[in-house]
Structures are given as structure tokens and as C-alpha cells.
Amino acid sequence: MLINNYDIRLFYKCPMLLQLNKYGPEHERDFHPILGRNKHRSRKSDPSKEEIIANTAKTLRKMENGDSPINQSWLHTEDYMTKIDRLYKVESSSVFGSYSYITAFMRNVKHIRKTLIMEGVFNTIILSSIQQNQPDYFQILRKEDTLTINVSEYQEELMSDLEKIEQVLNKEITLTPNYTRNCRVCEWRKYCKQLAEDRLDLTLISGIGKIIKKQLEQQNIVDVPSLAQASLSSIDLESVKPEVKEYYILQAQSLMDKKERVRDNITFPKRKYELFVDVEGSSHHNFVWIIGCLVRVDNEYYYKHFIAESQKKEKEMFSAFMKYVESLNNDYTLYHWSLAEPQYFMNLAKKFKLDTSNVSKLVDNSFDLFPIFKNKIIIPVYTYTLKEVANWLGFEWFDPLVDGATSIILFDKWYMHNDRKSLEKAISYNSDDCKALLITKDYLTKRLTS
């Protein structure tokens, strides 16, 4: 079986994904109801042998003619096959004459992921074998600039991984999933979660990925029950702090008996107003479109939202929010989940050259609920997302199918196609996020304040 560039992409995204896309039970794939089918097509749609041969012949003719650039090129060797965005002619002799080619991706990506790098190295290896000249680099052409990636840095790793990829494709080895944060947006997430639960896999512990898992397995700690029984002094994990090791053990115990573990008490600020805030931005359109705020005062609460219906309205929206906050005379605490909210506020203040002292006050009055979990209290969940924590506390989102990723899609539907219903759905999701924060804060008050 030919290994193709798509196999490389899948393998570096997650080796299990490669295995499941080839041999996984199709009925277990769980396409997201709003995001729909994602990019992981079934291997059944691989090109036929005839197609590969015919298209490679076309590319080779262009290379022999010395054309440049050559778009959408197909190349194959005895073992590998790839489709390349672009080939560029460079001055360095090859079987074609006094010139040879380098490969290039046309991708306007912000972050260069390993998947793209390894696919580029794979393309270069195939090209080298055909033109009998190995380029030192390949390129990534972005809108604003061109990146040059050195091939030799990654080649050895790829060559060794190609053996494993071949074994997976030939069913010579069977992988098991590492259930990590990346699984949240994967169509196999339910299936892999079940497999991990069946094995009580160590990666069910939030924060344990394949590297820590391997180190633990080498010490005969092979699953959640064995970690739950381990003592702190018996675990040897390089560069993991003792408090984190202790967390791993307590988390394993919590998953086993389904009970919380309290590590420390906390004190919440006592102020008149409590604001439970969730901010959503569209990275695609590059602006913050909603600041949702559930306000609690004197045991009454109400939801307010500040919306920017277009990029031009962003400043107006943020100013209205700041004006509201300032009207509370500094007698408030703003509760949020993770570092995104304070970051949004500071960025907006900088962007619109607003008085940063007011925004600094807002940030000073902010309280992040996320790090309380794990550090002060451990509950029996696999990941500490607001959704998983609040779900465990019994809170249900009005529309359980909407999540952070779908809320972005809903916003896009409204913004691009003026779909009002999508906007309402996204606002409703935002208000549920704010309610989840309130419920979580009340739970922490009950369990951690004496």
C-alpha cells in the first residue's frame, strides 16, 4: 500500500486517527451536528492507481519541459505518493538538466504545525528520489511572507516514523488512544473515550499525555487504578513538580471513587456586585463581538450583553461595557474562566487607545475560577473545561450541542449571511456560559470556604 501525504498529515495529528480512518468502525464516527463532517475523509476516497500514474506523468512532462511554477503536482515512487501545491524551479542540476525543483505549500497559516512540516519533508523526500537531487528546504507561501523550512532537521524523525505508519496501514500493530484535549474536536472522540475508559487509560487524567504516560508505564503504573494506589515518593517523573505528581494521584483516586478531593481553602472577595463574564471573539473576522455578563446583586441576578454587530462597532461595545463597570464604583468582582477575558480587555484597551488605568482596575477585580480546580479541589472529570465541570455539577446548557467551536460557526452564519436565529443561539450559549460560571463559583464557595 502506498503511503500518501494525507497519511502523514493524519499520523502527526494523531496516530490513532490514521488507524481509525483506515480500519475504524464507520458507524462510530460522530460528526458534529453543526460543524458537520470535518476534513478527515475516509481512506476509501484515496485516488486510484491509474489516477496516480496518469497525474504523475503529467507533472513529470512539465518538469522535463522546465516549467515553473507547476501547480497541483502529483508525484509517486514505489512506496510513496503525494500531491504538492507548487513546484518551483531552482538552479541546481538534476536528472532534468541544469535545474531542479523545490516544493512549496500555499497556506496562509498563522502557526506552522508539525503536521505541515512533516508533510513538507515527506514531499521533499519523494521529489528528491525522482529528480535525484535533494533540496535542503521547502517553502510555505503565506499572504505576507514566505517561510523556508530546513528539511534535514526533521528527516530522521520522519524516516523512523514512516516504518510505524507502514505498520499501522498494514495492520501489523494496533494502537490505543491517548485521550487528550485534542480529542474534543475529533469525530472519533466518543469512540476513543470509550476505548480509554474500558482500559482505564492513564490519559483520562487531565494533564497526562503520551510522554508522561510512557514514563509512568515504565514504572509499572499502567492505568488509573494503579496510579490511584501509587505513593508520591514511588513516582519518578522528570521535570514534574511534586504538587503536580500529587494531583495526578488524587485525580486518579477521584476518578475511581467519583468523589472530590479538597486540597486547600480559598477566600473570595466580598463585594456588592458579582459579574460572571464570558467574552467571545471572532479570530476569523478579528474582533470581539460579545461581552456577556450575568450580574448578581443582593441575591438577584440578571443577564446583560454588549454586542458589536460589526467590526466598526467593537469600540462602541467595549466602551459601553466599561461605562457599565465603572458605574459599579469599584464594588464588584468579575469572575471568568481562564486567562482569555483579561487578555481581551487589555487588547481592546490598547487597540482603541483607551485609558488603561480603568481597564487595569477591571483586571485587578477579576477572579479566574479555572485554576482553583486541580490546585484547590479535584473532581471526577477528564478535562477541566467549564462545560465538563458545570455538567458534573448538574448544570445543563439549554442547547447541549452548542459549544465554543460551534458558537464561532453560529456567529459566522449571522455575520456572513445575516442569519438572526444563529445569533440568538450564540447569545443563548453565551448566557449559559455565564450561568455555568455562577454555579461553579457557588459550588466552590460551599466546598472551599470555611
**Which residues in the 77-116 window bind ligand SF4 by CB under 6 A?**
none
Number of residues that bind ligand SF4 (CB under 6 A): 12
The separation between CA 374 and the C-alpha centre of its own chain, rounded to angstroms, equals 21
Q: Which stretch in 11-19, 66-74, 298-306, 378-386 sits in contact with ligand SF4 by CB under 6 A? A: 11-19
Residue 39 DSSP code: S
What are the grid coordinates assigned to 88, written together?
518551483
Query: Interface mask (CB under 6 A) for ligand SF4, residues 190-209, using x and -?
Result: --x-----------------
Task: Please state the closest distance from residue 158 (CB atom) to ligand SF4, in A.
Answer: 20
Question: Could you tell me which residues are beta bridge partners of residue 332?
Answer: 273
Task: Please state the closest distance from residue 26 (CB atom) to ligand SF4, in A.
Answer: 14
Task: Please state the closest distance from residue 207 (CB atom) to ligand SF4, in A.
Answer: 16
- 3, 4, 6, 20: which one contacts ligand SF4 (CB under 6 A)? 20
Question: Which is closer to ligand SF4, CB of 36 or CB of 394?
Answer: 36
Residue (of 281, 283, 301) closest to 293 by Cα position: 301
Question: Which is closer to ligand SF4, CB of 17 or CB of 81?
Answer: 17
Pairing outcome for strands 273-282 and 332-336? parallel
Q: Which stretch in 78-86, 187-195, 304-312, 383-391 sits in contact with ligand SF4 by CB under 6 A? A: 187-195
Residue 335 phi, psi (nearest 5): -95, 140
Amino acid (one-letter) located at 139 = Q
Query: Interface mask (CB under 6 A) for ligand SF4, residues 167-186, using x and -?
Result: ----------xx---xx--x
Pairing outcome for strands 80-90 and 3-4? parallel
Task: Please state the closest distance from residue 183 (CB atom) to ligand SF4, in A.
Answer: 3
Reported as type and span, the H/E element at residue 343 is helix 340-351
Using the CB atoms, write b or e for 320-356: b if 16+ within 10 Å. bbbeebeebeeebbbbbbeeebbebbeebbeeeebee
- 105, 122, 188, 335: which one contacts ligand SF4 (CB under 6 A)? 188
Task: Please state the closest distance from residue 12 (CB atom) to ligand SF4, in A.
Answer: 11
Question: Could you tell me which residues are beta bridge partners of residue 278?
Answer: 292
Reported as type and span, the H/E element at residue 290 is strand 287-297
Q: Considering Cα of 123, then 125, then 126, then 127, what sign does the dihedral take?
A: positive
Question: Which is closer to ligand SF4, CB of 29 or CB of 76?
Answer: 29
Contact 3, 80 (CB under 8 A): yes
Whole-number Cα distances in Å, 58 to 53, 75, 96: 9, 10, 15
Q: Tell me the C-alpha distance between 335 and 348, whole Å.
A: 19
Task: Please state the closest distance from residue 429 (CB atom) to ligand SF4, in A.
Answer: 23
Contact 224, 410 (CB under 8 A): no
Q: How many CB atoms lie within 10 A of CB 141?
A: 16
The backbone region for 261, taken as left when phi is positive above 0, alpha when psi lies in -120 to 50, beta otherwise, is: beta
Question: Which is closer to ligand SF4, CB of 122 or CB of 188?
Answer: 188
- 3, 17, 212, 438: which one contacts ligand SF4 (CB under 6 A)? 17
What are the grid coordinates assigned to 76, written together?
509517486
Question: Which is closer to ligand SF4, CB of 16 or CB of 348?
Answer: 16
449 sits near ligand SF4 (criterion: CB under 6 A): no
Task: Please state the closest distance from residue 208 (CB atom) to ligand SF4, in A.
Answer: 13
372 sits near ligand SF4 (criterion: CB under 6 A): no
16 sits near ligand SF4 (criterion: CB under 6 A): yes
Question: Which is closer to ligand SF4, CB of 31 or CB of 398?
Answer: 31
Question: Which is closer to ligand SF4, CB of 185 or CB of 339?
Answer: 185
12 sits near ligand SF4 (criterion: CB under 6 A): no
What is the contact surface with ligand SF4 in residues (CB under 6 A)? 14, 16-17, 20, 177-178, 182-183, 186, 188-189, 192
